[in-house]
Copies of this chain bind each other. A is one copy, B any other.
Amino acid sequence: MIYLVRKEHFNAAHRLFREEWSNEKNEEIFGKCSNPNWHGHNYDLIVTVKGDPSPETGFVINLRTLSEIIKEHVLNKVDHKNMNLDVEFMKGYIPTTENIAIAIWDQLEPLVKELGIRLHCVRLEETEKNVVEYFGK
């Protein structure tokens, strides 16, 4: 079994807050990340899939195929968007790095399975210092 890793990138705005909390409580919990006028990040998205290389092509999967799936089902929906307001698959979730990673996993997992391979990890780097990895349930 081989693990194939693809790195992609998107830029987005977000705000961490709970509507039912006061601004003070939001700031106490989420700090600067609850700024009412939003802030944003350059997100690095690293998707790892696993499978056996085809004896015919030497590929686990053609990276173009994987990259196009990520582009259509994730990047086009989040790049240059507001994670709280613009992204259907984040509705109802606070856009922490944790929740975004889980939501991206849920987008990609069935599509990767259809290719005859398996999704192994969604890694999301909000900054160089703050990173999350999700391997599914």
Contacts and interface: CB of A to CB of B under 8 A. Distances in A.
Interface residues of A, number: 60
A3 B122 CA distance: 10
Interface of A: 1-9, 11-14, 16, 18, 29-33, 35, 37-42, 48, 53, 56-60, 62-64, 79-82, 85-86, 93-96, 98-99, 101-102, 127-135
B13 A60 contact: no
Nearest to A63: B130
Contacts of A57: 18, 29-30, 94, 96
Contact of A101 (B2, B18, B29, B79): B2
B31 A12 contact: no
